[in-house]
Structure formats: structure tokens, C-alpha cells
Amino acid sequence: MTRHWDEILSGEHRVIEKVLTVLVDEAKKLAGKGEKDKNSQERVVKCLDFLGTFMDKCHNMKEEKILFPRLEQRGIPKQGGPIGVMLMEHEKERELLSTIKENLDVSNWDSVLRESEGIAELVKDHVWKEDDTLYPMGKRVLSETDPGKLVTGFEEIEKELGKGIHEKYEELAEKLVKETALEPLVRNLSVDVLGNILDTIPVEVTFIDNEDVLRYFNKENEKKLFARPRAAIGRKVQKCHPQKSLAKVNQLLDDFRSGRKDVAEFWIDSKGRKIHIRYFAVRDANGYYLGTMEVVQDITEIKKIESEKRLI
């Protein structure tokens, strides 16, 4: 299925953000006194190569040569508008990349870190402006034929760089991320905040580990569709189900554990309500089975939704 122009650009944003995180993390290891790790130095060089080619020559050029001129034709001004701001920030990105490379050449690692943090912060703000403001604005003003022409233009930019260059740098980004093991975003949250988030989401969540032991459920102190007593924590899930359903429960868990399945879903009618029940195999980045998550949701009102109700 052909992706929309804004999906292509936003997808590239996500890759760029990860590489910038790797750049900062590796620069931190090299700053200050002490022995400099050769692997970190090599990763910094690879990050700068990625940013100079994928971010600037590929992503930014798709905007500067293809998207921005088309948006101008459709009435979004270059001067005094978001396009002008984006162009100025592209230039600032190039300046920072150049400065980082200069400091890298003379092994000024403290400056490499400072400028790496600077470009990471700049790009973080930049992509937010594009994803949240400019791209939605563009979708409102573009004609019916413009999206296809934009995608075709993007493809021409990639051809100019050389066959397979885009894929090569996406693979490089993936390799850098795997090598450095980026900190999971959840570590930005305290247990208290995470717990309250899980209690706020409009679904009931239960998790059993890879040994079929019940480890967690949310909304403990609220009325639930499927009641869960605290005493069930630490018990085998098989002891929480009636005998007649054990065969199906065990089959589902075996399918998840073996990798034959990743998702299973059911729905039932209960007291005039439609209840949607889903099971998901939870796996780590290497595909290792960590356990099973059950998600229960009352979808009665959701099924009634028609037309649209927009926030803005």
C-alpha cells in the first residue's frame, strides 16, 4: 500500500530522532577526562554520516525541493510563515553538524557533546512543529492530485542520491540503535506515575509472566468488568480459571509461547453490554516471550460512533 507523503516524512522523523539519541549518548561517553572508547568514537562518526546524508540530503531535500514549493503554490507563504522558519532551522542544523565535525577532527569531545545536545534539541523541536503544525496545514491546502506528485518527487530525490541509499541508512540507524540499546522511554516515569497511567487508560489490563503466573492487573480499587482479587497475584493463571476452560487457556498460552500466534480476541454480551477481550503475546526486542497481556474493554458506546467529532 502506498504511503501518504506526510507518513513518509514523519516516519523519517522517527528514525532521525533515534539516531540523534544515539549521538548524544555516545558523545556523553567520550566527554570529560579518561580513556576514549573506540567503539563510541566510531558510532559518533556513523551518526554524523547518517545525519548529513539521510537527514539533510534525503529528508530535508524532500521538503526544500518538493514539499515546500508545492505548499507555497497552495498559499502557505515562505516569508513570515512556517516554511521560512523550517528553512532557517535546516540551515542551523547544517551549521551544527559542521561544528560537530570540526570538533571531532581535533578530538574536542566536550564540544562534540555540547553541539550534539544542541542539534538534538533543535531537531526535536523542529520535527514537532512539522508533524503537529506544518504537515496538517499542508493536508488542508493541497489539491487531490498533489499527494501523489509529492511522493513521486520524494522518489526522485532518493534516486539522485543513488540506488539503495535510503535503505542503507535506515539499516545503519537500526544497527546503531541495537548496538547502543536506547533507554526505554518508560524509564522517564516513576512507578507511581506509570501506575496511575495504567489505572487511567479505558481498558482493564492483566499480565501473566512467561511461567503463567499472574503478576499485575490495573484498576484494583475500581469496579471492573472482570473482578481481580489481590490474592490472585502470584498464582498460576490456570488456578484462576474454571476447569472447563483450562484446555483452551493452555492452548492459547502454548501458541503464544511457541510463536504460532501473537494475538487472540473474543467478544461476549454481558448485562446488555458488548465486551471485547483481547490477548497479546508480550515479547522483548529479540522476540523472547515475556508473558501474556489480557485487555478487556466495554465497546458498547464505541460501536455507536458515527461521522466525526474533531478536537479542532
Select the CATH number that applies to the domain covering 191-304 from these four: 2.160.20.60, 3.40.1390.10, 3.40.1180.10, 3.30.450.20.
3.30.450.20
Query: What is the per-residue pLDDT across 115-137, written as a single tens digit (0 to 9) for each?
Result: 999 999 999 999 999 999 999 99
CATH 3.30.450.20 positions along the chain are 191-304
In this prediction, residue 183 carries a pLDDT of 72
pLDDT, mean of residues 284-310: 92
What is the CATH topology of the domain spanning 5-183?
A: Four Helix Bundle (Hemerythrin (Met), subunit A) (1.20.120)
| Backbone angle region of 212, left / alpha / beta, with phi > 0 → left and psi within -120 to 50 → alpha | left
Percent of the chain with pLDDT over 90: 79
pLDDT, mean of residues 95-114: 95
CATH 1.20.120.520 positions along the chain are 5-183
The whole-angstrom separation of Cα 260 and Cα 77 is 53
In this prediction, residue 80 carries a pLDDT of 85
**pTM of the predicted protein model:** 0.72
